[in-house]
Amino acid sequence: MKAVIQRVSKASVTIEEKKVASIQNGLLILLGIVDEDTLDDIKWLSNKIINLRIFGDEQDVMNKSLLDINEDVIVVSQFTLHANTKKGNRPSYIKAAKPDVAIPMYEAFVKQVEADLGKPVQTGQFGADMKVELLNDGPVTIIIDTKNKG
């Protein structure tokens, strides 16, 4: 499971000209799932993200987590995070989980983040053609792969 976490001043998801998610301050999480991902990966990744100290404290030092500041989250499924670009110029997405595996894992991840955060999170729509708009704050962008827990 891969996640691209972006600290945002604002973010939104639009599908067919209808805004389905919108936040002011918080995190936009792009999530890519593979067949080998497990519920343990979901729990670990959710815990890691909500505890990342990437928000400024009183001295504007990145010392606060999402839990500390109680900001909002949007989670968007993005299979292209598992693109393989080794051969040619057309990426291969063979490693990305198919919908029958990815949808339940995506939904479980959203529920886990909500449970860990103690409030609802907003989402895109799995498989939809989404327009994701964001204002990256910092910029702060963190990439986490559960295969590299180390």
Residues carrying an active site annotation: 80
Report yes or no: 52 and 3 within 8 Å, Cβ to Cβ.
Answer: no
Both tokens of residue 13? 């998801």
55/140 Cα distance (integer angstroms): 9
In this structure, which amino acid lies at residue 96? A
Dihedral angle computed from the Cα positions of residues 117, 119, 122 and 127, in that order, rounded to the nearest 10 degrees: 70
- In single-letter form, the type of residue at position 40 comes to D
* β-strand pairing of 26-32 with 2-15: antiparallel
